[in-house]
Amino acid sequence: MNNKSIVADFFTAAAANDQGAMAAILDPEVIVTEADSLPFGGRHVGFAAFQALVRRVFLLWRDTRVEVEQLIGDGEYVVVLATMHARSKADGGALCMPIAEVWRLENGRVKEIRPFYFDTGKFVDLLQGSPCGGELTPTSADSRVAGHVQHGTAEWNSR
């Protein structure tokens, strides 16, 4: 199986909220590095840290949808081109932003993910007033993250 197929399988597992399949695709010490300027910025290591990061990101937004438009693979790298659609929980401001993620694989597993947002300043501006600076206290409705795959495009949705 090639690396592009492995990343596509990850998005399929994420859309089905199949934590076991996602964990099998991610290296146990997977590293996700987010821009330091973001409320969830920094280095997140391991599957549990990955899950916590996803929960934190989706707690800041509502009506969140990430549409994967293309996967580009070369060697150990796969680039994910996508668009993030969301509304800030702080003020309802709309976000429609191109993003790219660089995924690095080793031995058939995802070792590293590095997301790049087109405009981190706009991202942060929309989050002003959100509880991102302190503890996030999820409600049962906020902590659910579900996904689906439609028309060959992977999407993650927050509800």
3-158 is classed in which CATH architecture? Roll (3.10)
Whether residue 153 is predicted with pLDDT greater than 50 in this model: the reply is no
Task: Return the residue matching tokens 């987010």.
Answer: 34
pLDDT for the residue 86 = 86
β-strands 61-74, 42-45 pairing = unpaired
Of all residues in the chain, the percent with pLDDT exceeding 70 is 79
Once rounded to an integer, what is the mean pLDDT over residues 40-52?
Answer: 94
Sign of torsion over alpha carbons 12, 71, 97, 90: positive
Q: Three-state DSSP class for 18? A: coil
pLDDT for the residue 144 = 28
Spacing of C-alpha 126 from chain mean position: 18
For 150, residues 6+ apart whose C-beta sits below 8 A from its C-beta are none
> Looking at the chain, how many residues does it have?
159
pLDDT for the residue 128 = 66
Of all residues in the chain, the percent with pLDDT exceeding 90 is 49
pLDDT 10s digits, 60-78: 888 888 899 999 999 999 9
Whether residue 85 is predicted with pLDDT greater than 50 in this model: the reply is yes
> Among 115, 119, 111, 85, which residue's Cα sits nearest to residue 100?
115
Q: What does pLDDT average to over the chain?
A: 80
How sure is the predictor about 148, in pLDDT bands with cuts at 50, 70 and 90?
very low
pLDDT 10s digits, 86-96: 888 878 888 88
- Decide which of 156 and 13 is more confident: 13
Question: Model pTM?
Answer: 0.76
pLDDT 10s digits, 98-144: 999 999 999 999 999 999 988 777 777 776 644 333 333 333 223 32
Q: Which backbone phi and psi does 29 adopt, to 5 degrees?
A: -110, 35
CA distances to 33, 43, 46, 52, 121 from 24, rounded to whole Å, are 20, 21, 12, 17, 34
